[in-house]
Structure 1
Amino acid sequence: MQYRLEQASHWLALLCRVIAGIALVALLAVTIADVGTRYLYRVTEGAIALRVTGSVELVSYLMLFSLLSAMAANVEKSQVVVEAFSHGLSGNLKARLHGVYLLGFAALGLILFIGLLGSAEGAARHGEVTQDLRLPMSPIYYVAAILSLLLGIRSLIHVLLSAVFGIDQEVSHGE
């Protein structure tokens, strides 16, 4: 059971890192293209007037995807251990406390999932689109909802590993 949970967490983390990487590279590409076309416009004194339409919108949604997936990928590394409070505690107890702490991340991920799922369904019903590019909002909400669910699932996996099995890779390797 423990091995399967660790493997599931590993593969979900890998998936989330790939998504975060793709979103960050796309974000960087949009930003470079936008800055480059503005510079080209200025250098040519308006002779070349290329624009990246909706760059602010694209960057904001790509940032949302990269942040949610990075949070899900690194949820087990999220706790800052304060030595003053945990100095005398055993590694097993630290792991269990970390598991309790991760319940908050599990709740956050699940609450975000439910809220974003409702937003996606509402956007699909009403035909909501983005302001600049006129893209449908429901797929954006669905992707964000799935990434939030991955945050909740990975948090719950690490709650089980930490609180039930007394295992915490970050606490055990961090000392």
Structure 2
Amino acid sequence: MILSTISRLSVWAERASLAIAGAAAVYMMAVIAFNVVTRILFDATGRAVNLMIPGAVEQASYALLILVMAALAASMRDGMISVDLFVNRMPAIVQKLAVRLWYALAMVLALVLAWSFGHEAQILLNRGDVTQDLVLPLWWFYSAITVECLALALISFDQALTATHVSEGHLS
């Protein structure tokens, strides 16, 4: 019962992270592409027409930050990268224990990161810090990263509990 609940929550966290990563990637590429085209227009008109997006670099940077953290969480359900040359030579039980250990360590790291980003988000909220160009509250971004770190921790925890068999040299 508890394992199935954790697994369902993990699947939901993976799907949500994948959707967030996809949206952030599309947004980032749209901002960059639009600014490249408008920069060409800006240069071609001798600086007379300026349609560039204010704070485009800042927008792309924060979108990339959210994209990377969400993609990291989403990628964990398909297994970690391993060096097959070494892993395939290990007995199956050692492979299972190793992958469970790595997922457990990933969970601990994700929880430490979540605590750290969450703490920083609280500080930024209390101070009222904002982004440089767009004057958006910085705590929004730190809170989003905190949530993604918690998703990573949940997915890693689920994988650490459910890695049960070896198929084609990989645990699933």
Give the equivalent residue in structure 2 for 1:123. 124
Matches within 5 A, 1:1-175: 1=1, 2-77=3-78, 79-162=80-163, 166-167=164-165, 171-172=170-171
- Preserved CA contact (<8 Å) 2:95 2:171: no
RMSD: 2.1
CA offsets, 1:97-142, max 9 Å, x none? 1110112211121111111111111111111000111111111111
- Preserved CA contact (<8 Å) 2:79 2:171: no
- Preserved CA contact (<8 Å) 1:91 1:172: no
Aligned length: 170
Q: Which SS does the other structure have where 1:74 is aligned?
A: helix
Cα distance in 2 for partners of 1:152, 1:75 equals 10
After superposition, the Cα gap between the structure-2 partners of 1:4 and 1:122, relative to the gap in structure 1 and judged at 3 Å, is closer
After superposition, the Cα gap between the structure-2 partners of 1:143 and 1:168, relative to the gap in structure 1 and judged at 3 Å, is farther
After superposition, the Cα gap between the structure-2 partners of 1:140 and 1:26, relative to the gap in structure 1 and judged at 3 Å, is same
Q: Which SS does the other structure have where 1:96 is aligned?
A: helix
After superposition, the Cα gap between the structure-2 partners of 1:134 and 1:120, relative to the gap in structure 1 and judged at 3 Å, is same
- Preserved CA contact (<8 Å) 2:14 2:77: no
State the 1:160 CA deviation: 1.0
Cα distance in 2 for partners of 1:51, 1:86 equals 50
- Preserved CA contact (<8 Å) 2:104 2:156: yes
Structure 2: gaps of 5 or more residues? none
- Preserved CA contact (<8 Å) 2:21 2:68: yes
Please report the TM-score for the alignment, with normalisation by the length of structure 1: 0.87
Structure 1: gaps of 5 or more residues? none
Q: Which SS does the other structure have where 1:81 is aligned?
A: coil
State the 1:25 CA deviation: 0.4
Percent of residue pairs bearing the same amino acid type: 26
